């Protein structure tokens, strides 16, 4: 028995905190002011075309509104959406199949196939269309070589093929990256439970790929929706043709602007549809412990896979290069003057690389705000980037011309405006990879740097941006390659005296000067090969769009 | 002993939940204070609030007499002079060990400082390696060196040993104490592991549901926990119900003197090492289990009235299963609440 | 490296913001494509030392641009493919009259009666046909013959193209609105395949996709230059209608221009004999200055039946032309 005095008696206070502290999620501030200042500047640039369009709508003529409300408009709209859906479906099928074959099977020469399979990305869709038209038909190149009478590839089948070939590389690059991140443990678990490889693909792999496929399909759909060159050459009637017709066929520009609104609405429908089908899927920010397992193909599967890859590469890459080379050779042998379009090369490289630099620089504050300081405003900012990406180029260009000629005369027809428009239109391609790379950086690294006495800005410069560099490079290259191909906005917005390869190809072909068109197109392809090579061997850096 | 860090009435709430609830903590300078609590109790939030990564809703935070955070102001982390060691170390993967350690150091003696700090943590010659080339323990040392190199007034460590395996953890604990004390820096370490907190801290603060429920030296807090919850959280504890009668409470295993009025109910806390069984032929209980650890042993005793109690005895005492014992208790803590002690 | 890139970008952007302050320079808006006109402009720069900045775009697009820019247009000279675009700018009183000497170089029927713009080269509307499939004697005398069911699906048209729209504008002036709409509807009923532009029609005829098409005469000659074996041939309508019109490409000087000397020199240059020969030999158009011969595969310009039409009026019916094309369901 102890002494009474040594016993401690303690009163427990009433009203001990009842509720548990709950989530340990860290609330953060809204982010440093300068990120918001830069972001607001970006928003202003993005807002120009949108507000300008709205302003133009206010003083559109009655005739313009009437053109909108015709039965013809409805018919074309339906036709355009159905066409977009079909191209998106085929591009997704081709892109995902190729990605799976090249990322997850033991097919031989996968890296070389991967580069070849991604390369059609660099060929503008109207060049593919031009080449398909020229190569098909009883008098076409294919008939000449094989002796087989092919039908003319025009109208719906031609447009479908041309746009599928132009858009599947987007799906391919994004899906291939996602496939490399799929956790093999899940597949092994499914196999262990007795599922066949096909069932594993359908029930385990495919659902994990949904977000990446959705992102790729979205790019394909938006590209198709706003394409004009390929569909018009294929004489397949969709909405963009009417806008161009109204724009080029009259002095009054308001009918073209009113009709553009319909295309914007269609783009919003596509974005909405993608979000609906995406469901709850999220992109993988977790690194799986092991590289994905390799599926062994049976001999006939190997043959089928190789045939599929070969056919796609033949149509999307070999045929265009062959036809263009044939035109060039034919012209050169018959003594046609061909000039190396140095001014166009310089213009293309200047415009596209400045656009890439500006887009990458702009992507940093946007993704830092969206990832590190997720608030309603920062999410809205990120979404605004996608809305901009979805706008048809001709619409953006018309709006920007109208705005700059009235309210921004000093920069009217300047390279500055063209570069800003490129950057704004393709910003989504830069923010995608940038976001993916930022998601992989432990936020504690930022805190560590801040704790060591570096300001937020210094931390971004020394830690965040260097660690994002691969994603930023991938994003920059995507923007670069896309800006190289851009035509409608370039035609309308370029400074006087400024020309690009895409413009030269278009205008040469327009005048039936195929030799010169071929020379410019081959240069364009050559210029884009290095960036696409890098993107196709480093697909991981592209994911996350 | 002066106060290096003072959090006074700090509340942090977000999304309708409260992570810190009128949180008070004074950290004496030059010592290693361990903040311990179950996961989700808000201890990491407290650490982040001190470092400046977390803004506070109400209250004040003072670092060496400087007010760094209030309801409305928040000195950014880079101007607080606080070094932090992160749970997953957060080493910059793209720069070398030397560059990591020198990251926060400015001035002419940068190279020299990096070398001295690396020597302090025992990583001389590792300057040009990259983080991914290091073992977990080495990464931990680099993280510590990086936090110490700028000469901060305060170092904060967030679960610093959770990413190490058991042998490394033991070694790093001792290393950490040695380094912290040799530098003389004020350190705050956050952990969910009470054994770690008791072993490593000069002082400990026990947290629960967003508040500090008790602080003091490890010995004080272990021996005089302010509530049954703290007692259980920090070590093994038996809680026995009893009623005061005639200045004593009969717990069944012994009678504890009390000042409570007759009829007041109370809880009596007894740690196993306070239980002293003696082998007696007709004792009140029987030894039913024994775990022998070498330096000590745990003996489970079932009393005849059905109560089970544990005793922690030195390894030198030999007891056998089935032996009958009498039980005394050397120490106990009586907990009462205001309403049950109303008769007093 | 990164810093260097950023610095370079800033410099490049800054450089574009300041326009060149060359002493003798000229800004030309050209609705004629770079492929056709740039070699000529290069020669002009070489001969005169005047540096020329050219903005290439569609003629109607540039006309609309000039209207929007108004009196502060950066353009000194507007070079257009068709009289409608020139007429639009003239109607808005944004051109300054050309000198008597310049106007006297070209027959008046190819220029603005008030002297605001001058024709520089002629482009005849023709029927291009596939000589392996079509006997030229079957071809109709005027465009009206193509609405006959026998031509169903066999006549390619480019309803959104500037030349076609100028032709429709002319037809409205010559035959009236109703007759024009009836013709367009007839073409639509006949399932005439539509193409985005003249060049695509000529390519389609050569590839055997379509038997005939309405186009400008020179596209076929260019196709023959690229590949002498193509089967396409030109057919000129025998009766004077809108379909047989020789449409001039032309040039005007903007009233807002402060470089009138250079602009005058440019206009003089375009109608000198050497440039006219260039049009004949390189772009296969009709030179408009008398005495310069056209390509010898073409009928002389005097022999082409020409309807009596004031070309400057085409601008007044251009938007109506687009409306009718749309109303007929061809857009």
A contact test, residue of B14, B44, B46, B53 with most A CBs within 10 A: B53
Domains in chain C, please, with CATH? 24-122+246-302 (3.40.190.10), 124-245+315-327 (3.40.190.10)
User: Do B and C touch (≥3 CB pairs < 8 Å)?
Assistant: no
pLDDT at residue A25, rounded to an integer: 37
Percentage above 90 pLDDT, chain B = 43
| Residues of B in Cβ contact (< 8 Å) with A3 | 257
A contact test, residue of C198, C209, C257, C281 with most A CBs within 10 A: C209
Q: Cα–Cα distance between A309 and B223 in angstroms, integer?
A: 74
| Residues of B in Cβ contact (< 8 Å) with A20 | 40, 209
Is pTM, for the whole model, over 0.90? Answer: no
Query: Helices marked H in chain B — which ranges?
Result: 43-51, 97-102, 110-120, 136-148, 166-183, 194-200, 218-223, 228-234
Kindly list the partner chains of chain B, i.e. chains with 3 or more CB atom pairs below 8 Å.
Answer: A
Tokens matching residue B75: 């000195």
How close, in Å, is residue A377 to chain C by CA atoms?
Answer: 28
Q: Measuring CA to CA, which residue among A153, A399, A107, A424 is closest to residue A258? A: A399
Q: Cα–Cα distance between B218 and B234 in angstroms, integer?
A: 10
- Quick one: average pLDDT of B23-50? 91
* A14 confidence band (pLDDT: 50, 70, 90): low
Residue B330 has pLDDT above 50, yes or no: yes
**Which residues make Cβ contacts (< 8 Å) with residue C300, sequence separation at least 6?**
C294
Q: Is A350 on the interface with C (CB under 8 A)?
A: yes
How close, in Å, is residue A462 to chain B by CA atoms?
Answer: 10
Residue A22 has pLDDT above 70, yes or no: no
Q: What is the pLDDT of residues A27-49, one digit of tens each?
A: 446 778 888 888 888 888 888 88
Residue C184 has pLDDT above 60, yes or no: yes
Q: Which of residues 99-158 of C touch A (CB under 8 A)?
A: none
| Angle value at C-alpha A503, between A501 and A508, nearest 5 degrees | 95
Residue A145 has pLDDT above 50, yes or no: yes
| Residues of B in Cβ contact (< 8 Å) with A449 | 92, 103
Q: Cα–Cα distance between A36 and C176 in angstroms, integer?
A: 60
pLDDT at residue A542, rounded to an integer: 56
Size of interface A-C (CB pairs under 8 A): 160
**Low-confidence winner among A40-49, A182-191, A378-387, C73-82 (lowest mean pLDDT):** A182-191
Give the three-class secondary structure for C143. Answer: helix
Q: Cα–Cα distance between A518 and A501 in angstroms, integer?
A: 11
Q: Cα–Cα distance between A193 and C75 in angstroms, integer?
A: 74
**Low-confidence winner among A147-161, A337-351, B19-33 (lowest mean pLDDT):** A147-161
Query: Helices marked H in chain C — which ranges?
Result: 2-17, 34-48, 59-69, 83-91, 100-103, 162-175, 177-189, 198-207, 218-226, 260-270, 273-281, 318-327
Q: Measuring CA to CA, which residue among B3, B40, B14, B27 is closest to residue B207? A: B40
Are residues A251 and C60, on separate chains, in Cβ contact within 8 Å? yes
Mean pLDDT value across chain C: 88
**Which residues make Cβ contacts (< 8 Å) with residue C188, sequence separation at least 6?**
C328, C329, C330
Are residues A17 and B210, on separate chains, in Cβ contact within 8 Å? yes
A146 — phi, psi (to 5°)? -90, -20
Instruction: List Cα–Cα distances, C319 to A55, A155, B322, C313, C315, in angstroms.
Output: 22, 28, 112, 12, 8
Q: What is the pLDDT of residues A384-409, one digit of tens each?
A: 787 787 777 878 888 888 888 888 88
Residue A357 has pLDDT above 80, yes or no: yes
Label residues B26-41 b or e (16+ Cβ within 10 Å = b).
bbeeebbbbbbbeebb
The H or E element spanning position A298 is none
Q: Measuring CA to CA, which residue among A33, A25, A27, A28 is closest to residue A455? A: A33
Write the DSSP symbol of residue B247.
S
pLDDT at residue A278, rounded to an integer: 60
Q: Is C318 on the interface with A (CB under 8 A)?
A: yes
Q: What is the pLDDT of residues C21-61, one digit of tens each?
A: 447 899 999 998 888 898 999 999 999 999 999 999 888 88
The DSSP bridge pattern shows strands B154-158 and B186-191 to be: parallel
| A20 → closest Cβ in B40, B78, B336 | B40
Give the three-class secondary structure for A138. Answer: coil
- Quick one: average pLDDT of B69-74? 89
Is A231 in contact with A159 (CB distance < 8 Å)? yes
Q: Cα–Cα distance between A163 and A155 in angstroms, integer?
A: 12
Q: Cα–Cα distance between B306 and A63 in angstroms, integer?
A: 98
pLDDT at residue B242, rounded to an integer: 84
Q: Which of residues 156-185 of C touch A (CB under 8 A)?
A: 159-160, 162, 165
Residue A320 has pLDDT above 90, yes or no: yes
Q: Cα–Cα distance between B134 and B91 in angstroms, integer?
A: 11
Q: What is the pLDDT of residues A243-291, one digit of tens each?
A: 877 777 777 777 888 888 888 888 888 877 777 766 544 444 445 556 6
| Residues of C in Cβ contact (< 8 Å) with A244 | 160
Instruction: List Cα–Cα distances, B135 to A120, B130, B131, B149, B159, in angstroms.
Output: 45, 11, 9, 21, 17
pLDDT at residue C160, rounded to an integer: 83
Query: Helices marked H in A227-298 — which ranges?
Result: 229-233, 239-249, 254-278
Q: Cα–Cα distance between A366 and A201 in angstroms, integer?
A: 35
**Which residues make Cβ contacts (< 8 Å) with residue C287, sequence separation at least 6?**
C121, C122, C276, C277, C279, C280, C293, C294
Tokens matching residue C276: 């006219």
């Amino acid at each position: 028995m102890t002494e009474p005095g040594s016993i401690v008696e303690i009163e427990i206070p009433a009203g001990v905190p009842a509720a548990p502290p709950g989530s340990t999620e860290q609330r953060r501030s809204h982010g440093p002011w300068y990120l918001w200042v830069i972001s607001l500047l970006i928003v202003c640039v993005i807002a120009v075309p949108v507000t300008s369009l709205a302003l133009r709508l206010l003083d559109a003529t009655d005739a313009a509104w009437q053109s909108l409300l015709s039965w013809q408009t409805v018919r074309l709209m339906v036709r355009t959406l159905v066409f977009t859906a079909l191209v998106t479906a085929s591009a997704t099928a081709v892109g995902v199949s190729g990605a799976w074959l090249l990322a997850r099977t033991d097919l031989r020469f996968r890296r070389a196939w991967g580069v070849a399979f991604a390369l059609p990305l660099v060929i503008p869709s109207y060049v593919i269309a031009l080449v398909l038209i020229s190569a098909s038909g009883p008098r076409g190149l294919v008939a000449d070589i094989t002796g087989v009478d092919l039908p003319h590839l025009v109208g719906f089948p031609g447009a479908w093929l041309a746009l599928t070939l132009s858009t599947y590389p987007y799906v391919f690059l994004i899906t291939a990256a996602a496939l490399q991140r799929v956790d093999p443990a899940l597949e092994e678990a499914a196999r262990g439970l007795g599922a066949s490889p096909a069932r594993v693909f359908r029930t385990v792999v495919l659902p994990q790929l949904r977000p990446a496929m959705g992102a790729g399909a979205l790019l394909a759909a938006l590209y198709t929706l706003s394409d004009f060159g390929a569909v018009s050459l294929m004489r397949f009637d969709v909405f963009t043709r009417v806008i161009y017709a109204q724009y080029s066929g009259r002095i009054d520009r308001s009918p073209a602007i009113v009709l553009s609104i319909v295309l914007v609405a269609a783009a919003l429908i596509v974005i909405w549809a993608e979000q609906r089908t995406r469901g709850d899927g999220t992109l993988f920010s977790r690194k799986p412990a092991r590289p994905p397992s390799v599926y062994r193909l049976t001999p006939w599967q190997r043959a089928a896979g190789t045939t599929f890859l070969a056919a796609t590469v033949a149509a999307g890459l070999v045929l265009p290069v062959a036809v263009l080379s044939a035109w060039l050779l034919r012209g050169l042998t018959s003594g046609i003057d061909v000039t190396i379009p140095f001014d166009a090369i310089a213009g293309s490289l200047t415009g596209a690389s400045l656009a890439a630099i500006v887009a990458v620089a702009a992507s940093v504050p946007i993704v830092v705000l969206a990832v590190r300081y997720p608030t309603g405003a920062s999410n809205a900012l990120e979404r605004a980037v996608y809305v901009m990406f979805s706008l048809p180029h001709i619409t953006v260009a018309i709006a920007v011309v109208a705005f700059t000629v009235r309210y921004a005369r000093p920069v009217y027809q300047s390279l500055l405006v063209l570069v800003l428009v490129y950057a704004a239109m393709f910003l989504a391609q830069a923010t995608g990879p940038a976001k993916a790379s930022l998601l992989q950086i432990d936020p504690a690294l930022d805190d560590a740097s801040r704790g060591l006495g570096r300001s937020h800005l210094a931390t971004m410069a020394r830690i965040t941006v260097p660690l994002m560099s691969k994603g930023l490079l991938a994003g920059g290259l995507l923007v670069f390659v896309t800006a190289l191909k851009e035509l409608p906005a370039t035609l309308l917005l370029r400074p006087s005296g400024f020309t690009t390869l895409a413009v030269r190809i278009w205008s040469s072909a327009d005048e039936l000067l195929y030799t010169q068109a071929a020379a410019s197109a081959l240069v364009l392809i050559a210029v884009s090969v290095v960036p696409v090579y890098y993107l196709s061997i480093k697909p991981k850096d592209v994911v996350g769009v | 002993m002066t106060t290096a860090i003072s959090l006074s009435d700090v509340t942090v709430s977000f999304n309708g939940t409260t992570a810190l609830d009128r949180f008070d903590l004074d950290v004496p300078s030059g010592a290693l204070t361990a903040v311990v609590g179950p996961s989700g109790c808000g201890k990491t939030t407290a650490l982040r609030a001190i470092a400046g990564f977390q803004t506070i809703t109400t209250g004040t935070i003072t670092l060496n007499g400087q007010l760094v955070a209030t309801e409305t102001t928040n000195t950014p982390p880079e101007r607080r002079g606080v070094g932090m060691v992160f749970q997953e170390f957060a080493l910059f993967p793209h720069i070398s060990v030397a560059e990591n350690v020198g990251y926060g150091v400015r001035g002419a003696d940068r190279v020299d400082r990096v070398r001295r700090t690396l020597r302090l943590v025992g990583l001389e010659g590792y300057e040009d390696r990259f983080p991914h080339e290091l073992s977990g323990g080495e990464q931990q040392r680099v993280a510590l060196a990086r936090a110490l190199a700028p000469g901060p007034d305060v170092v904060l460590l967030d679960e610093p040993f959770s990413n190490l395996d058991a042998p490394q953890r033991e070694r790093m604990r001792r290393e950490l104490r040695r380094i912290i004390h040799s530098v003389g820096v004020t350190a705050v370490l956050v952990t969910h592991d009470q054994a770690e907190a008791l072993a490593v801290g000069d002082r400990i603060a026990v947290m629960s549901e967003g508040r500090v429920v008790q602080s003091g030296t490890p010995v004080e807090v272990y021996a005089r926990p302010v509530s049954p919850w703290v007692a259980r959280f920090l070590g093994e504890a038996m809680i026995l119900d009893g009623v005061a009668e005639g200045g004593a409470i009969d717990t069944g295993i012994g009678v504890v003197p009390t000042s409570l009025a007759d009829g007041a109910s109370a809880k009596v806390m007894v740690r196993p090492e306070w239980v002293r069984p003696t082998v007696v032929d007709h004792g009140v209980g029987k030894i039913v289990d024994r775990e022998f650890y070498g330096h000590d042993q745990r003996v489970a005793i079932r009393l005849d009235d059905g109560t089970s109690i544990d005793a922690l005895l030195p390894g030198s005492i030999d007891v056998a299963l089935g032996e009958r014992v009498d039980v005394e208790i050397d120490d106990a803590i009586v907990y009462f609440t205001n309403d049950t002690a109303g008769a007093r | 490296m990164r810093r260097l890139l950023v610095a370079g970008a800033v410099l490049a952007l800054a450089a574009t913001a300041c326009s060149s302050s060359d002493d003798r320079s000229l800004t030309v808006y050209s609705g004629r494509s770079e492929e056709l006109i740039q070699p000529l402009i290069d020669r002009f720069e070489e001969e005169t030392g005047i540096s020329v900045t050219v903005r290439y775009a569609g003629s109607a697009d540039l006309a609309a641009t000039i209207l929007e820019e108004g009196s502060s247009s950066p353009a000194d000279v507007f070079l257009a493919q068709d009289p409608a675009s020139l007429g639009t700018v003239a109607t808005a009183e944004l051109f300054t009259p050309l000198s008597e000497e310049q106007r006297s170089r070209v027959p008046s029927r190819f220029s603005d009666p008030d002297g605001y713009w001058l024709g520089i080269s002629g482009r005849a509307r023709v029927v291009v046909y596939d000589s392996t499939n079509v006997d030229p004697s079957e071809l109709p005398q005027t465009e009206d013959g193509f609405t006959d069911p026998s031509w169903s699906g066999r006549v390619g048209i480019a309803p959104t193209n500037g030349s076609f729209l100028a032709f429709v504008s002319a037809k409205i002036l010559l035959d009236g609105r109703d007759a024009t709409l009836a013709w367009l509807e007839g073409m639509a009923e006949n399932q005439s395949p539509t193409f985005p532009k003249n060049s695509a029609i000529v390519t389609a005829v050569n590839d055997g996709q379509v038997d005939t098409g309405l186009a400008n005469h020179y596209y076929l000659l260019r196709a023959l230059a690229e590949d002498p074996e193509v089967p396409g041939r030109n057919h000129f309508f025998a009766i004077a209608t809108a379909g047989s019109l020789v449409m001039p490409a032309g040039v005007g000087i903007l009233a807002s221009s402060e470089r009138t000397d250079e602009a005058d020199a440019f206009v003089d240059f375009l109608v000198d004999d050497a440039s006219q020969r260039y049009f004949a030999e390189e772009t296969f158009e009709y030179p408009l200055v008398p005495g310069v011969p056209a390509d010898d595969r073409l009928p002389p310009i005097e022999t082409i039946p020409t309807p009596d039409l004031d070309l400057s009026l085409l601008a007044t019916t251009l938007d109506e032309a687009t409306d009718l094309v749309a109303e007929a369901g061809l857009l």
